[in-house]
Amino acid sequence: MIKLEEYIDSLDKCSYCGYCQETCPLYISELFEPYTARSRINLIRSVFLEKSWPLSPGVLKIIDSCMLCTQCTRTCSGRVPIDEIVIAARSEIHRGIEFKKMVIKNLLTRRSLIKTLVNLGYLSQKYGLAPKIMPDLPKKTFEQAYSGTYSPAGKPRARVAYFVGCGTNFMFPDTGKSVVEVLNHNNIEVIIPPGQVCCGIPLMAQGDLQSVVDMVLSNVKVFEKLEVDAIITDCTSCGMMLKEKAVRLMPKDSDLETRVTKFSGRIWEVTDYLSSVGLVAPLAPLTEKYSYHVPCHHGWEKGVKDAPTKILAQIPEAQYEEMQYPEGCCGGAGTYFINHKKISQKIRARKIQSIKNTGADTIVTQCPVCRYYLASQLQGQRVIHPVSLLAESYNVKG
């Protein structure tokens, strides 16, 4: 379990150099020093460890304002795990659980409830009853359409299990279909096991760490019994949670840590996996000009950032146009764009301009929240998962 006391040595490594200013999307937008990582972790130390500052509404606002994008953590020369320190602070605050958080927990741990809400949401949108902030919901969730084993036409050269994130399941089932079809097209067998739950990252962002532990262990129980070469996910945030953060939440030197370590060791982001094993099916030409928005949560595996452009470069006639600030945050950040609307829109505006400057027809990204939040402000340009562009080249699109 992540506890603030574990980070005392890490807090001392902060030299207040200010490198975190250069990459923090919140600071770049607001130019407000308390929003920098160095100020935020110093405040956390004063409030929770030294008890020299009260937990006031102003302090809560500063802690809550962090997007947990991990940009500062990657930039920090002292390798201070700033995002985990913020999560640990939120865990201290979370002990007095609110009704709203309890509802979210019950939804994320019981996908059948969300499925029902998505189905009702689809009907509400169909008849013009849903609020405009909602993304267009599918008639069926991915898991309503896909479950079990999907074998390629030829002899399988690998076998993978597919962890289906909530974004793909409930918002973008076309991504999931493309993942299955592209993997099958490259002679890779896909297993979609029942019983999966949310990876836990939304609740971790709120500081409800015990619920996250329960969700991680629930998923480990589902996947650890499968004889597969890899566990793939199409979402970079799910991948970060399952590959990097899950083990950190387990008691050290315990059986649980051993089980989760084994599970995490098999996690791959799907384009990184395809880049590693290689494509065997020939790709057809696509006269497509595309650009790539790098999701914030790409740093958990070295190949995740470059895999999409590396693999899409194999599509004949497709043209890649790099945008300015490809790693710049889009402002979505889970539910951040709902709770911090004005700030999110300012951050998104910078990204939208860099996208428009490329002249690309298509924007690819592995994060479903980025996909929705960018698409909601773009006209004449679509936002899809990189695998969906591969699927179009194979003519097996979702």
Q: Tell me how far apart the alpha carbons of residues 198 and 165 are, in angstroms, rounded to a whole number.
A: 6
pLDDT on residue 112: 59
Q: Tell me how far apart the alpha carbons of residues 267 and 14 are, in angstroms, rounded to a whole number.
A: 31
Q: Map out the domains of the chain with their CATH numbers.
A: 4-93 (1.10.1060.10), 105-274 (3.40.50), 282-394 (3.40.50.11810)
pLDDT on residue 300: 86
Q: Tell me how far apart the alpha carbons of residues 142 and 170 are, in angstroms, rounded to a whole number.
A: 7
Q: What is the chain's mean pLDDT, rounded? A: 89
The CA-to-CA distance between both ends of the chain, in Å, stands at 39
Residue 98's pLDDT band, with cuts at 50, 70 and 90, is: low
Residue 133's pLDDT band, with cuts at 50, 70 and 90, is: low
3-class secondary structure per residue, the chain: CCCHHHHHHHHHCCCCCCHHHHHCHHHHHHCCHHHCHHHHHHHHHHHHHCCCCCCCHHHHHHHHHCCCCCHHHHHCCCCCCHHHHHHHHHHHHHCCCCHHHHHHHHHHHCHHHHHHHHHHHHHHHHCCCCCCCCCCCCCCCHHHHCCEEECCCCCCCEEEEECCCHHHHHCCHHHHHHHHHHHHHCCEEEEECCCCCCCCHHHHHHCCHHHHHHHHHHHHHHHCCCCCCEEEECCHHHHHHHHHHHHHCCCCCCHHHHHHHHHHCCEEEHHHHHHHHCCCCCCCCCCCEEEECCCCCCCCCCCCCCHHHHHHCCCCCCEECCCCCCCCCCCCCCCHHHHCHHHHHHHHHHHHHHHHCCCCCEEECCCHHHHHHHHCCCCCCEEECHHHHHHHHHCCCC
pLDDT on residue 398: 54
In this predicted structure, the answer to whether residue 123 has a pLDDT above a threshold of 50 is no
Whether this prediction's pTM lies above 0.95 is answered by: no
pLDDT on residue 20: 87
| pLDDT tens figures, 19-38 | 888 889 999 999 999 999 99
Contact 178, 171 (CB under 8 A): no
pLDDT on residue 348: 95
Cα dihedral sign, 385-386-392-398: negative
**Distance (Å) of CA 291 to CA 182, 356, 374:** 20, 10, 13
pLDDT on residue 129: 44
Tokens standing for 297? 């949560």
| pLDDT tens figures, 161-175 | 999 999 999 999 999
In this predicted structure, the answer to whether residue 353 has a pLDDT above a threshold of 70 is yes
pLDDT on residue 251: 93
pLDDT on residue 127: 45
Greater confidence (79 vs 393) lies with 393
Contact 73, 81 (CB under 8 A): yes
pLDDT on residue 126: 47
| pLDDT tens figures, 193-246 | 999 999 999 999 989 999 999 999 999 999 999 999 999 999 999 999 999 999
Q: Tell me how far apart the alpha carbons of residues 125 and 115 are, in angstroms, rounded to a whole number.
A: 15
Residue 266's CB is within 10 A of a number of other CB atoms, namely: 18
Residue 99's pLDDT band, with cuts at 50, 70 and 90, is: very low
Residue 339's pLDDT band, with cuts at 50, 70 and 90, is: confident
| Cβ partners under 8 Å of residue 128, min gap 6 | none
Q: Tell me how far apart the alpha carbons of residues 131 and 200 are, in angstroms, rounded to a whole number.
A: 26
Contact 88, 7 (CB under 8 A): yes
Fill in the amino acid letter for 24: C
In this predicted structure, the answer to whether residue 136 has a pLDDT above a threshold of 80 is no
Residue 113's pLDDT band, with cuts at 50, 70 and 90, is: low
pLDDT on residue 116: 53
Q: In what order do the strands lie in the sheet with 382-384?
A: 319-320, 289-292, 362-364, 382-384
